[in-house]
Amino acid sequence: MTEPLVLGIESTCDETGVALVRGRELLADVTATSMDEYARFGGIIPEIASRAHTEAFVPTLNAALERAGVGLADVDAIAVAAGPGLIGSLTVGTAAAKALALATGKPLYGVNHIIGHVAVDELVDGPFPEHFVALVVSGGHSSLLDVTDIATGVTELGSTLDDAAGEAFDKVGRLLGLPYPGGPHIDRLSQQGDPAAIHFPRGLTSARDRLRHPYDFSFSGLKTAVARHVEALQDAGAAIPTADIAASFSEAVNDVLTRKALDAAVSRGADTLVIGGGFSANSRLRALAQERAAEYGITVRIPPIRYCTDNGAMIAALGSALVRAGRPESGLDFANVSGMDLSTTYVAPAAAA
Ligand code: KG4
Ligand code: ZN
């Protein structure tokens, strides 16, 4: 028997993504983005994003179907990101997915976008091991997960108490006068700077904090420290060494992320660490995670950059895992969950919840 063909739909933020996955094989992945419209605003405007999803959805769907060489009638199940995300953006994707499910009679799964960032790795690096730890780092989340089954066995170990890593990068980018979103710009700039030039604080890493918050993160104190450092230089009329500041700030974030992720893997007895989410495109995170994991004999799996930022493949991958696990469909009457918790892989129907 051939593996199920799953259509995945992503519209939580500014990317309209549609993908087709058969089992763990990616057949097509097409993304449209409204990000280019936000540089002048310094942040995403939800109304513009929702309107862009409405405009882009059908062309993106048609392009994905054509690229995969399949029709809607061939699809065995539809998966759509039900949260977390911007409510207007989510509504366009879930309403479109429900209409498709109703018209085709196919089962519909409303899945967790953040867990999709982990699930997508199976399409690239093959089946997951029986147990692993995942670090999910995006614009809105920085979390550690214990995973025994990507469809049914995800437990949140900890998360950021304030800013997410991507959010902190975007805010520091603004402070250094870089275009929005600052993350990729700081990444590039930091490659020309000295990571040891300034010692910025590492949040929640003191002995006391590590007892109380072993797997939680905090980046807002660091962001404030960078702001104070820049202000002090400005007050003194000194030049701002932006590359050194970017590199030192990036080092502080990535030092904490990798240290806590590896602590989690070691203490949970997992020999694999999977890293996902938009921030996992960061070059220093990728290098430092590999370097430190090697010291512990832990395997690191990070998808290529195009699967780190939001896309339809991650949603189809999680949908495919749910179908393979025999989970019942969400049905057509679920609501978007803008703040979906990370131990919930999808919106289970009321009877099965
Ligand atoms: O997962 P994602 O595409 O969207 C959310 O679900 O939030 O993550 C977007 C975040 C933004 O904060 C962006 O600045 C950050 O990921 N990002 C990066 C890099 N590429 C994207 N941050 C640091 N270095 C990068 N290379
Ligand atoms: Zn995301």
**Distance in angstroms (rounded) separating the CA atoms of residues 31 and 316:** 13
Stretch 142-167: mean pLDDT: 97
pLDDT at 226 over 90: yes
Q: Which pLDDT score, from 0 to 100, does residue 99 have?
A: 98
346 alpha-carbon distance from chain centroid: 16
Question: Which of 253, 279, 310 has most ligand 1 atoms within 8 Å of CB, for mutation?
Answer: 279
Contact 169 CB / ligand 1 (< 6 Å): yes
Say whether the peptide bond before residue 214 is cis (omega within 30 degrees of 0).
no
Q: Which pLDDT score, from 0 to 100, does residue 40 have?
A: 86
- Given a contact cutoff of 8 angstroms between Cβ atoms, the answer to whether 44 and 278 are in contact is no
Stretch 174-203: mean pLDDT: 96
Question: Which of 14, 169, 186, 315 has most ligand 1 atoms within 8 Å of CB, for mutation?
Answer: 169
Stretch 151-171: mean pLDDT: 96
- Given a contact cutoff of 8 angstroms between Cβ atoms, the answer to whether 264 and 133 are in contact is yes
Percent of the chain with pLDDT over 70: 99
pLDDT band at 339 (very low <50, low <70, confident <90, very high): confident
Q: Which pLDDT score, from 0 to 100, does residue 185 have?
A: 97
Stretch 26-41: mean pLDDT: 93
Q: Report which ligand 1 atom has the smallest distance to the Cα of 164.
A: 12
pLDDT band at 19 (very low <50, low <70, confident <90, very high): very high
Number of the ligand closest to the Cα of 163: 1
**Distance in angstroms (rounded) separating the CA atoms of residues 162 and 173:** 18
Q: Report which ligand 1 atom has the smallest distance to the Cα of 114.
A: 6
Question: Which of 13, 34, 137, 138 has most ligand 1 atoms within 8 Å of CB, for mutation?
Answer: 138
Contact 320 CB / ligand 1 (< 6 Å): no
> How much distance in Å is there from the Cα of 237 to the middle of ligand 2?
39
H/E stretch holding 142? strand 142-149
pLDDT tens across 283-333, in order?
Answer: 999 999 999 999 999 999 999 999 999 999 999 999 999 999 999 999 999
Say what angle helices 283-296 and 242-268 make with each other, to 10 degrees.
40
> How much distance in Å is there from the Cα of 279 to the middle of ligand 1?
4
Any idea which residue has 């938009």 for tokens? 278
pLDDT band at 343 (very low <50, low <70, confident <90, very high): very high
pLDDT at 352 over 80: no
Q: Which pLDDT score, from 0 to 100, does residue 353 have?
A: 57
Measured by CA distance, the residue closest to atom 13 of ligand 1 is 183
Contact 183 CB / ligand 1 (< 6 Å): yes
Stretch 219-229: mean pLDDT: 97
DSSP state of 50: H
pLDDT tens across 323-336, in order?
Answer: 999 999 999 999 99
Contact 278 CB / ligand 1 (< 6 Å): yes
Contact 303 CB / ligand 1 (< 6 Å): no
Contact 116 CB / ligand 1 (< 6 Å): no
Closest CA to 247 of 187, 301, 300, 329: 187
- Given a contact cutoff of 8 angstroms between Cβ atoms, the answer to whether 161 and 216 are in contact is yes
Name the 3-class secondary structure at 28: strand
Q: Which pLDDT score, from 0 to 100, does residue 14 have?
A: 92
pLDDT band at 203 (very low <50, low <70, confident <90, very high): very high
Identify which has the larger pLDDT, 43 or 213: 213
> How much distance in Å is there from the Cα of 280 to the middle of ligand 1?
7
Contact 13 CB / ligand 1 (< 6 Å): yes
Stretch 206-215: mean pLDDT: 96
Q: Which pLDDT score, from 0 to 100, does residue 1 have?
A: 62
Contact 310 CB / ligand 1 (< 6 Å): yes
